[in-house]
Amino acid sequence: MRMRAGLIAGVMLMAGTPAGAALSPAERTITTSVEAGYEPAIGLLERLVNQNSGSMNLAGVKAVADMLRPEFERLGFVVTWQPMDAAKRAGHLIAVHKGKAGTTKMLLIGHLDTVFEPDSPFQKFERKGGASGGDWARGPGVADDKGGVVTMLLALKAMQAAGTLKAANIEVVLTGDEEDSGDPISIARADLIAAGKRADVALDFEGLSQENGKDMGSIARRSSNSWTLTATGKSGHSSGIFSANAGDGAVYELARIIVAFRKELPEPNLTFNVGLIGGGQSADVDKDGVRIAVTGKTNIIPPIAVAKGDFRTLSEEQTARVRAKMQAIVGAGHLPGTSATIAFDMGYPSMAPTAGNRALLVKLNGVNADLGLAVMPELDPLKRGAGDISFVAQDTDGLVGLGVTSSGDHSPAEQADLSSMKRQAKRAAILMSRLAGEKGRK
């Protein structure tokens, strides 16, 4: 079904066939409701931003969820809080709206946490142009992802005003640890994965990507996986290095492998990085895996060397292939007197650019045409990082980037283009209203 829909969508794009009719009366109500709800939405965004919810501020994440609960309940959603004590994180807010049986089941994805912990100096919402004006706002998470969550709510409120929410089957999952996932991931993402298996469509309300001022459609995200490489050798006086008894030492073995990675691994849509390296008489990695304490002398052959890095892929097939190649490089051709092992930490999976995802983008571009907005071309997936939607990508079609456009994310320069909230909420509300009228696949 997904492949057939994608082929039809591709033909429509090539032929320039419009994907939707003119706006219906309900859809026109959606547009006016979004305009009317814009300033109240910014007020909610300010309150959310001013509540710190760094991933490790568990009480702060829960406080944001508590602020959002009544917003969803007023729309007829049944809201639950799923604690994540086992994963050492705050938890997830899950909201379910039951509509007409047999129609498309939609999963809306966002997150409650930010990268800014309570000790960050960046804590307050600031709207440029004053409290009653200005299209931009600064603040921790103003775009990633509190701006996205508010856009989601603005769209849902517009659907309620237009009468299209009543029949819609929607499940919302707002994770509390997207920026720093809990461990084990099998627990931290169990609720999201289960929701994905129930859904026909997943819509991710993280930031809208742009190129040269043009809104882009995002149908793929790459994975994010980590690795730790450990090389060992014989310790001894440096005067004996490369001899039959002493061998080459751990650092040369580590260097052999890293150079081989650079030469042998490159392929389209793959990146791989060495982010941390150390070797010597000792090399102790801290419990967080972000520091290596090294001791040694220039006249001692190093018996230990460690490197840590990541690799990012566009499909799970590519992930498996690259991992196997890395293991083969590590395991073959050890330098004299050395050995090496590699361990993988599989983090975020990939979201491949499937035919079903492309068909969804065609539908979104039908909405754009009816709204008088420009077509959104496909974004190069190398220009987006990993995200929560990837955990459901194997089970459902999806679109990424229904939140606000921004700059400076994950830094004290983070700012959101508030005006983008209007067109994003209109797009999302109309798309969801149309999907709600289609027959579900599950």
Report pLDDT for 128.
Answer: 86
Q: pLDDT (tens digit, 9 = 90+) per residue, 42-80?
A: 999 999 999 999 999 999 999 999 999 999 999 999 999
d(CA 328, CA 325): 5
Region 256-285 average pLDDT: 97
Give me the amino acid identity at 341. T
Q: pLDDT (tens digit, 9 = 90+) per residue, 373-397?
A: 999 999 999 998 889 999 999 999 9
pTM of the predicted protein model: 0.88
Q: How many CB atoms lie within 10 A of CB 58?
A: 20
Q: pLDDT (tens digit, 9 = 90+) per residue, 302-360?
A: 999 999 999 999 999 999 999 999 999 999 999 999 999 999 999 999 999 999 999 99
What structural domains does the chain harbor? 2-221+351-436 (3.40.630.10), 224-348 (3.30.70.360)
Provide the angle, in degrees to the nearest 10, between the axes of the packed helices 58-73 and 146-162: 10
| CA-based nearest residue to 313, from 362, 350, 278 | 350
d(CA 338, CA 336): 6
The pair of three-digit structure tokens given for residue 243, joined into one six-digit string: 């001899």
Q: pLDDT (tens digit, 9 = 90+) per residue, 2-31?
A: 434 444 444 444 444 343 458 999 999 999
CB-based contact 440:427 (threshold 8 Å): no
Is the confidence at residue 131, as pLDDT, over 60? no
The pair of three-digit structure tokens given for residue 111, joined into one six-digit string: 């997150």
Burial of 265 per CB tally in 10 Å (0-12, 13-18, 19+): middle
Q: How many CB atoms lie within 10 A of CB 259?
A: 11
Report pLDDT for 288.
Answer: 83
Report pLDDT for 15.
Answer: 41
d(CA 112, CA 48): 9
Which region holds residue 102: left if phi is over 0, alpha if psi is between -120 and 50, else beta? left
Is the confidence at residue 205, as pLDDT, over 80? yes
Q: pLDDT (tens digit, 9 = 90+) per residue, 273-306?
A: 999 999 999 999 998 888 999 999 999 999 999 9
Average pLDDT, the chain: 93
The pair of three-digit structure tokens given for residue 199, joined into one six-digit string: 């859904």
Q: Is the peptide bond between 145 and the residue preceding it cis, with omega within 30 degrees of 0? A: yes
Q: Report residue 133's pLDDT band, with 50, 70 and 90 as the boundaries.
A: low
CB-based contact 325:260 (threshold 8 Å): no
3-state secondary structure the chain: CHHHHHHHHHHHHHHCCCCCCCCCHHHHHHHHHHHHHHHHHHHHHHHHHHCCCECCCHHHHHHHHHHHHHHHHCCCCEEEEEEEHHHCEEEEEEEEECCCCCECEEEEEEECCECCCCCCCCCCCEECCCCCCCCEEECCCCCCCHHHHHHHHHHHHHHHHHCCCCCCEEEEEEECCCCCCCCCHHHHCHHHHHHHHHCCEEEECCCCCEECCEECEECCECCEEEEEEEEECCCEEHHHCCCCCCCCCHHHHHHHHHHHHHHHCCCCCCEEEEEEEEEECEEEECCCCCCEEEECCCCEECCEEEEEEEEECCCHHHHHHHHHHHHHHHHCCCCCCCEEEEEEEEEECCECCCHHHHHHHHHHHHHHHHHCCCCCCECCHHHCCCCHHHHHCCCCEEEECCCCCEECCCCCCCEEECCHHHHHHHHHHHHHHHHHCCECCC
